[in-house]
Amino acid sequence: MRKQLFATLLFTILSDQILTSQDTKKPFLAGVDLTRIIVLHPEIQRKLTELAKERDLVRTSLSTEFEKYQKIVEEGRRIEEQLLSPAISESRRRELRAKGATIIQQAKEKGQQLQEFRQKKLQEFNEKYQAESKRILAMIQDKITQLSKEKGVTIVINTSGLSRSNTPIMQYLDPHLDLTDDLLRSFGVDPATQTPRTAISLFTLEQLSPSSP
C-alpha cells in the first residue's frame, strides 16, 4: 500500500494567482521523473543505503532471536517424545516431567521476550524510515516548487508514478516539458550521470512488516 501511495505521488504546485478569479492565466503542466531524481542524487542514495543496511541488521537480529526460541521449543518436543516411551522408568519419567515444565516456562518467557523485541525493533526502524522518507520527499518538493515558480509552471506531475495496475500514469510527456534534468542540476547533479548498479529507490525500500523475519 505504501509503495502504491509513493509511486502514484503527484506534486501539484498551484500559484496563488490561479486560485483567484481575477487571473485568467491557464495552468502550465510539466513533469518530473521522481525515481530518477532519487537514484541519481548521491546524498539520498547514501541515506537509503544506510536504511537498507539497518533494515537487514534488524531482520538478522530478529532471525537470531527466533532461532533461540525454536531451540527451546525443539527441546520441549524431544522431552515429550521421551515421555511417550513405555521403556523409561518412573523415576526418569518424573525427572523428564519436571524438566519439561521448566522448558515450557522458558518457552513462554522467551516467546514474550521475542514478541516485545520484534515490536520494538520494527517500530524503531519504521519510524526512522517514515521520517527519512518524509524528509527526502519534502526536500525534493521544495526544489520543485522553487523551479516551478522560476519557469512559470503551475502543475508538476511525477512521470515515474504507477497506477494500481502497475501501468504508467503518464503515458506521454513532451520532452520540453520534462523538468527532471533541470531539477538534477539544481541539486548539483549532472543529468548525464549513469544510474549506479546498487541504486535504491525510495519506492522499493519497504518498511518491515509485523511478520518479519
CA quadruple 87, 88, 93, 97: dihedral positive or negative? negative
Residue bearing cell 518491515: 208
| Whole-angstrom distance, CA of residue 188 vs CA of residue 43 | 11
138-165 pLDDT tens trace: 999 999 999 999 988 888 888 877 666 6
Quick one: cell of 131?
521520517
pLDDT of residue 70: 95
Return mean pLDDT, the chain.
81
182-210 pLDDT tens trace: 999 999 999 887 777 677 776 666 655 55
| Whole-angstrom distance, CA of residue 17 vs CA of residue 137 | 25
User: Any residues with CB less than 8 A from the CB of 52 and at least 6 apart, and which?
Assistant: 200, 205
- In DSSP terms, which residues pair with 158 in a beta bridge? 32
Best CA proximity match to 179, nearest among 164, 2, 170: 170
Higher pLDDT, 45 or 24: 45
pLDDT of residue 207: 55
| Whole-angstrom distance, CA of residue 103 vs CA of residue 191 | 62
> What angle separates helix 42-83 from helix 90-151, to the nearest 10 degrees?
160
50-96 pLDDT tens trace: 999 999 999 999 999 999 999 999 999 999 999 999 888 999 999 99
Lowest mean pLDDT among 22-26, 30-34, 106-110, 116-120: 22-26
The residue extents of the domains of the chain are: 2-186
Whole-model pTM? 0.70
Gyration radius of the chain over CA positions:
27
| Whole-angstrom distance, CA of residue 188 vs CA of residue 49 | 20
Quick one: cell of 164?
494500481
| Whole-angstrom distance, CA of residue 89 vs CA of residue 122 | 48
